[in-house]
Structure 1
Amino acid sequence: MINDKLPKIWYGGDYNPEQWDAGIWQEDERMFKLAGIDVATVNVFSWALNQPDEDTYDFAQLDETMDRLYKSGVYTCLATSTGAHPAWMARKYPDVTRVDVQGRKRKFGGRHNSCPNSPTYRKYSVRMAGKLAERYKDHPGLLIWHISNEYGGYCYCDNCAAGFRKWLQERYGSLEALNKAWNTRFWGHTFYDWEDIVPPSELSEEWNGNRTNFQGISLDYRRFMSYSLLECYRLEYEELKKHTPNIPVTTNLMGFYPELNYFEWAKYMDIVSWDNYPSLDTPVSHTAMTHDLMRGLKSGDPFMLMEQTPSQQNWQAYNSLKRPGVMRLWSYQAVARGADTVLFFQLRRSIGACEKYHGAVIEHVGHEHTRVFRECAELGRELEQLGDTLLDARTEAKIGIVYDWENRWATDLSSGPTVSLNYEKEVHKYYDALFKMHVESDMVSVEEDFGKYEIVIAPVMYMVKPGFAEKVEKFVSNGGTFVTTFFSGIVNENDLVTTGGYPGELRSVMGIWAEEIDALFPDQKNQIVMKHSWGKLDGQFECDLLCDLIHSEGAEVLAEYGSDFYKGMPVLTVNRFGNGRAYYVASSPEASFLEGFLANLCEEKGIKPLLNAPAGVEVARRVKNGMEYLFLLNHNADAAMVETGADAKKELLGGETVSGIVTVPGRGVLILERAKA
């Protein structure tokens, strides 16, 4: 639990007083009180002010800011400022800036421009973290450390090349083992010396993003870059912990950001935090899935919503305003799915550079008489009213959906069978079906304990890592239900094909083998034809993208393809394995099929929806101390009626007791408290 000093849902966000004259600060304090702001994230990009040259450190303004905020009742989320190095550093030490994928050396500018393997960057970033920790370790306003900001981006410089070779030596031990793992006899790529290996950039193996000649080296470079950036984080983390062992440490993640393996990062974060920036047309269920992923990074622990906008972004193609009520609605969506904070970027809108049109609690007009401020103040009052009621509450899902970054990298790098395969979208299809049914699910890693779930779903499990197949077999044998899909079990952790028939190591538990994979053009469809009625599935459904041509090896065939030369071949199978069942979905089905299919599985395992609610109403639950909190989130513009059951429940935001049918206003929220059954 991170909220010991401030036992409520933290409310506030990024604050940059250094961008303003001192005359504005007093007005900020007045408006923070009006809005109920009690946490400010400061010092995110202040390295240049804190260290104007190599030997000088000046924290006078930061001292004043933290003291002033604390006296006014605002606590500090203190960033280490290392997300953007100062100009003097780039001028004096050129190794600090990155080389891009095209081999071009970057100049000073922007952010995400520090090489993670630069000795200079590592030296001064760790030193800065230490200076801050020594100075503020006893400050009463310090709540949590925030290292750097939104880590990301790769580098291809000589320092990274040297670091990559060292990392490979530790991973493989010998060139012989590496050559075998990368299958370098293809195209005469045998390496004779470690110095032969260079990063897979557009100067060597890669082009157009994820296109590569050699998946092995490209996959390992992604692992290495994620590791390198994590190592930078960990160096600062360890320095902070030397001085402040009891202050939690985090850094802000970015949901399904493709470049970093967040399950690995979460092992070194005291609490996960992330920045939520959906577009107006982002499916509500995708945002919910991302919250669930952030909760799942640490096996269900609550997380921090570190950033969201009160009104609009500045960097998307079309930066729509959040309609009235939506900021509050989306804030409670985060809380419903595990957030113990609601923080914004930003508290006061900048007047210059690329974020001057990014929304803020305090708009350019500078006073409280705006729609956005009124909505923020209303939410601030409600969070104060909720107090510590929801803090550290958990979920109790019986379904786990597997997501794996390395599997995503391997799928993205695959040279075929279709450019349309999007791992994240295929995972979302299964999540979305459960979301619409109001059935809870967790997003989990391949390392998660499957034993706590009734159903585990692993869409497009292209890469099967060591031990995963045995883990699945044990889960199913013990009575669990496992689901996987087309393009699964194809390769090992080095992206080498497991021969003997797909799905490779999963073949035994699935009871099928696949001999070919057909890639359909975007306008092509096939059909899933049920052999007989099964619960909520009857007749036929469309499928597309990829079609595995599979044969049963003991699995029962539930449905067959309806057209093309493989008409009549299995497309949906179930295999009894021990006390459980393993289902294989050999193509990408339409939504109605998945809703019926997953409803059948839930019925088999006795998993019931949280409530029956109309379309557009999201239902989520958190549980704490024998009480459960049902969140009814109406994403529709119009009011919706929801049957909540005959038992009496307290509605936390309004204070009244309700039962039976309740009305949720358009874009409104109800939080129902009741004793857990």
Structure 2
Amino acid sequence: MNARMAAFRERLGGFAFGGDYNPEQWDPAVWKEDVELMRRAGVNLVTVGVFAWASLEPSPGEFTFGWLDDVLDLLHAAGISVDLATPTTAPPVWLSHGHPDVLPVMEDGETFGFGNRLHFDPTSPRYRSHAVRIADRLASRYSQHPALAMWHISNEYGPTSYGPHAAAAFRVWLRRRYADLDALNDAWYTRFWGQRYTDWEQVAPPEVPRSWSNPARRLDFKRFISDALLECFIAERDAVRRYRDDIPILTNFMRFYRHADYWRWAPHEDAAALDIYPDPGRPGSHVSAALNFDLMRSLRGEPWVLMEQAASAVSQWKVNNVKRPGRMRLGSYQAIAHGADSVLFFQWRAGRGGHERFHSAMLPHSGPAARTFLEVAALGNELPLIAAVAGAPSSADVAVLFDWDAWWGLEVTHGLPRNDFDYTAIVESAYRPLFEAHYAVDLVSFGSDLSRYRILVVPNAYLVDDGFVAAVEEFAAAGGTVVVSFFSGVVDVNNQVRQPAYPGAFRRLIGAYIDEYWPAREGETFEVEFADGTTAIADWWQESLHPETATVLGTYTTGDLAGRPALIRNDHGSGCVVYIGTRLEPAALRDTLLSAVRAAGAAPVVEGAPPYVEAARRDRYLFLLNHSDARAATVTVPGPGRDLLTGAAVTDAVDLPPLGVAVVELS
């Protein structure tokens, strides 16, 4: 466990509670009221300075820290700790106006101008030097301030640039990766369409494709951008850490964000942190949220930080529904149940102007009598009841692959049998049955240790590296169960088709080969009959599967592949592999997955609870959450204990009202 985060939790006495605070947007007369209301709401941590660069450095080299001195002193006097941000996500206008080369160039060649956010080229040397300078000045002034509890580097890293700075940096990155042009040409298969390079200066970022473009080049550019953004974080992190080494440093990740490989980022931070805004108007959005929470916990294998959520509505969607009474509390406990050691919001006080003027806040425009503030304050004053849970670990028998290389390969490179794959939706479709059946799930990447799990689920891993292939084979040989879905193991890390025959990486593992992929025509469906005589409907995709050592679990009974296998099972060493060669309807996918999970010996957190009840454990603490706003539930628990929220003794079951939460410390 990270020592800096352990000290952070000890300082706060449990869970961090609060959110982004932007005092520079308000008259100083408001600050005292803010602090008084924060104390009433149980706030113990606020993030300060995220968008404050222009207020801290209004002109080049002119630093105005007096107002920030006053704010930090005021917060400290009230017993509120500070997560101090470097403000480099929002460079001031003097930088972009005086030096337009810091602005990113978009894929179509147009410059992304000032007036939005993330208006910087992460590969611009000038941007990087100014970012490190403001980070250094902040750290030199505030590293010993008694309010400081955490450093927050920039915010929601994300901009991609295709300009001259990016081109030069991309070539440097490619030289490190491939060493020479011959290796690059081989990796990119430039013999196709006569794209062979003879000089490094000829290599540039991929432009907007007028028809199609080299898939390996596009894939490498995604990898490069993730690394370029990470270099920005590391440069600021190191500038800050020079002044003090015991304060945790992190930045905030985003829900299913495609431009940064968080597996590569997480080791460079003291904790994974997440900004997430589940849509209150979309049924089932809590399942996607749980998947994101499990990903955050899995990135470092330890508790994480919920850095931003909404107290009620957001402002970025076509229709921005409020969180109905009880939903904010329920979602906050859901994050904690999946390993979060904080409940933080964007933002403390609702802004009067700007794009997010109608984004909800802990303190709404209508003031402290508002429903939202009263719910926030109730939660903030309730969380100390479960303070002992902070830092508690989680464990799982079930692993689901979620890897950025697999994602990029499937979605950003084009030229596939069909080009409308949605990787995150595919992963979620495999995760949902496990979630609703109350199994604990870890997410894993190509480089993860698989030995601790009983079963591994591999959803549509079109691109896999050799190390992962070897690890999966070793996992199965040692007795693990593997479930692989269609169009997996097809290409290597350079996006080149593995030879011979599909699926080149997994042919021995699944005990079969595929001679042809058959994407379905619009509206086309297929009936699948299983060995027990039950049937299901499949659609969207078929494969012409030829078993070698595998046995058939399901067969097409309609369509051009009638009589051919749709699902197969293969023994591999002491373990087994189930391969699903089509897109099964949800109920059939659920039954297939849960049958494999049970056969692997994985145990659910609780037995017999309805699917609208969520169950999760952190060490001896059992979380039960009722996501229905109309139905109550009685949940059998695995042993006696005490509900930390009510103090009531628990014997063999817990009654959950609609939207109810229980946190049971098991004896």
TM class, shorter-length: over 0.9
After superposition, where does 1:582-593 map in structure 2 within 5 Å? 582-593=577-588
SS in 1 for 2:588: helix
Q: Please tell me whether residue 164 in structure 1 is matched to residue 170 in structure 2.
A: yes
* 597-606 vs 120-129, which moves further: 597-606
Q: Does 1:258 align with 2:258?
A: yes
One of 579, 599, 602 as aligned partner of 2:594: 599
Paired position in structure 1 for 2:292? 290
Q: Letter of the aligned partner of 1:490 in structure 2?
A: V
Distance (Å, rounded) in 2 between the aligned partners of 1:126 and 1:565: 61
Distance 1:647 1:104 in 2: 62
Deviates more, 1:352-361 or 1:631-640: 631-640
Residue pair 1:437, 1:595 contacting (<8 A) in 2 also: no
Note if contact 2:190-2:196 (Cα within 8 Å) is conserved in structure 1: yes
Output aligned runs, 1:476-515, within 5 Å. 476-515=476-515
* CA displacement, residues 390-435 of structure 1 (integer Å, 9 cap, x when unaligned): 1111111001001111111110023222233211111111110111
TM-score, structure 1 length as denominator? 0.95
2:165 equivalent to 1:149: no
- The structural deviation recorded for 1:153 is 2.3
SS in structure 1 opposite 2:624? strand
The alpha carbon displacement at 1:370 in A equals: 1.0
Letter in 1 for 2:659: R
Match of 1:492, SS state, is coil
Q: 1:14 aligns with which of 15, 20, 34?
A: 20
Q: Is the 8 A contact 1:421 1:545 kept in 2?
A: no
Q: Do the aligned residues in 1 keep the contact of 2:483 with 2:593 (CA within 8 Å)?
A: no
C-alpha displacement at 1:646, in angstroms?
7.6
**Is residue 630 of structure 1 aligned with residue 622 of structure 2?**
yes
Aligned twin of 1:615: 611
Secondary structure, aligned partner of 1:151: coil
- SS of the residue corresponding to residue 416 of structure 2 reads coil
**Are residues 1:473 and 2:473 paired?**
yes
Partner of 1:673: 665
Match of residue 390 from structure 2: 391
Q: Does 1:137 align with 2:139?
A: no
- Aligned twin of 2:78: 72
Give 3-state SS (helix, strand or coil) of 1:3's partner: helix
Within-5 A mapping of 1:162-241:
162-202=168-208, 206=209, 212-241=212-241
**1:263 CA drift (Å):** 0.6
Secondary structure of the equivalent of 1:654?
A: coil
Secondary structure at the counterpart of residue 540 of structure 2:
strand
Say whether the 8 Å CA contact 1:395–1:621 is kept in structure 2. yes
> Is the CA contact (8 Å cut-off) linking 2:349 and 2:361 kept in structure 1?
yes
d(CA) in 1 for partners of 2:72 and 2:272? 24
Shift of 1:258: 1.1
2:315 corresponds to 1:314: yes
> Following the alignment from structure 1 to structure 2, what is the Cα–Cα distance between the partners of residues 137 and 562?
69
Counterpart-to-counterpart distance in 1, 2:466 and 2:640: 50
Q: Is the 8 A contact 2:437 2:611 kept in 1?
A: no
* Residue pair 2:88, 2:131 contacting (<8 A) in 1 also: yes
- What amino acid sits opposite 1:397 in the alignment? A
- After TM superposition, list the pairs within 5 Å mapping 1:319-338 onto structure 2: 319-338=320-339
- Answering whether residue 341 of structure 2 is matched by residue 340 of structure 1, we say yes
Q: CA deviation at 1:595?
A: 1.9
Cα RMSD (Å) of the superposition? Answer: 1.3
Q: How does 1:365-444 map to 2 (within 5 A)?
A: 365-366=366-367, 368-387=368-387, 389-412=388-411, 413-444=413-444
Counterpart Cα distance in 1 of 2:399 and 2:61: 51
User: Contact (CA 8 Å) 1:629, 1:671: kept in 2 or not?
Assistant: yes
Partners of 2:191 and 2:249 in 1: how far apart? 46
Between 2-11 and 600-609, the greater mean CA deviation after superposition: 600-609
Decide whether the 8 Å contact of 2:528 with 2:555 is kept in 1. yes
Matched to 1:578, the amino acid is G
Cα shift at 1:313: 0.4
Q: Which moved more, 1:598-607 or 1:234-243?
A: 598-607
Q: Which amino acid aligns with 1:183?
A: Y
TM-superposed deviation, 1:288? 0.5
Give CA deviations for 1:92-149 in whole Å, capped at 9, x if unaligned: 2221111111101233221111111111111011111111111111111111100001
Give the letter aligned to residue 668 of structure 1.
G
CA distance in 2, matches of 1:501, 1:641: 51
Deviations 1:320-343 (A, max 9, x none): 000000000000000000000000
Contact 2:121/2:159 (8 A) holds in 1: no
What is aligned with 1:642?
A: 634
1:113 aligns with 2:109: no
Query: What's the secondary structure of 1:381's corresponding residue?
Result: helix
Alpha-carbon distance between aligned partners in 2 of 1:122 and 1:661, rounded to the nearest angstrom: 56
Separation (CA, whole Å) in 2 of partners of 1:93 and 1:244: 32
Cα deviations by residue, 1:244-263 (Å, 9 ceiling, x for unpaired): 21111110100211111111
Gaps spanning 5+ residues in structure 2: where? 1-5
- Post-superposition offset of 1:594: 2.1
Q: CA offset at residue 549 of structure 1? A: 1.1
Structure 1 Cα separation of the partners of residues 523 and 296 of structure 2: 35
Question: Matched residues in 2 for 1:521 and 1:244: separation?
Answer: 60
Check the 8 A contact 2:637/2:654 in 1, yes or no. no
**Helix, strand or coil at the partner of 1:443:** strand
Q: Secondary structure at the match of 1:163?
A: helix
2:557 paired with 1:558: no
Q: CA deviation at 1:639?
A: 4.1
* 2:120–2:159 Cα contact (<8 Å) kept: no
What SS is found at the alignment partner of 1:30?
Answer: helix
- Normalising by structure 2, report the TM-score: 0.97
- Equivalence map 1:36-115=2 (5 Å): 36-115=42-121
- Pairing of 1:18-29 with structure 2 (within 5 A): 18-29=24-35
Q: Which runs of 5+ in 1 are unaligned?
A: none
CA contact (8 A) 1:644 1:659 kept: no
> Aligned partners of 2:362 and 2:112: how far apart in 1?
35
Is the deviation greater in 413-422 or in 261-270?
413-422
Name the aligned partner's letter for residue 329 of structure 1.
L
The alpha-carbon deviation at position 225 of structure 1 amounts to 0.7
Specify whether residues 515 and 45 from structure 1 end up closer, same or farther in structure 2 by C-alpha distance, changes over 3 A only: same
CA distance in 2, matches of 1:11, 1:639: 30
2-structure distance, mates of 1:212, 1:199: 14
Conserved? CA contact 1:14–1:346, under 8 Å = yes
1:273 is aligned to 273
In 1, Cα distance between the equivalents of 2:434 and 2:596? 11
Please state how far the C-alpha of 1:522 moved relative to its aligned partner. Answer: 4.2
SS in 2 for 1:89: helix
Distance 2:90 2:568 in 1: 52
Find the aligned partners of 1:485 and 1:645 in 2 and give their Cα distance. 33
Please give the alpha-carbon distance, in whole angstroms, between the structure 1 residues aligned to 2:305 and 2:627: 22
Deviation at 1:645, TM superposition (A): 4.2
Letter in 1 for 2:571: R
SS in 2 for 1:48: helix
Describe the shift of the 1:218–1:561 C-alpha distance in structure 2 as closer, same or farther (beyond 3 A). Answer: same
What is the SS of the residue equivalent to 1:451?
coil
Equivalence for 2:568: 573
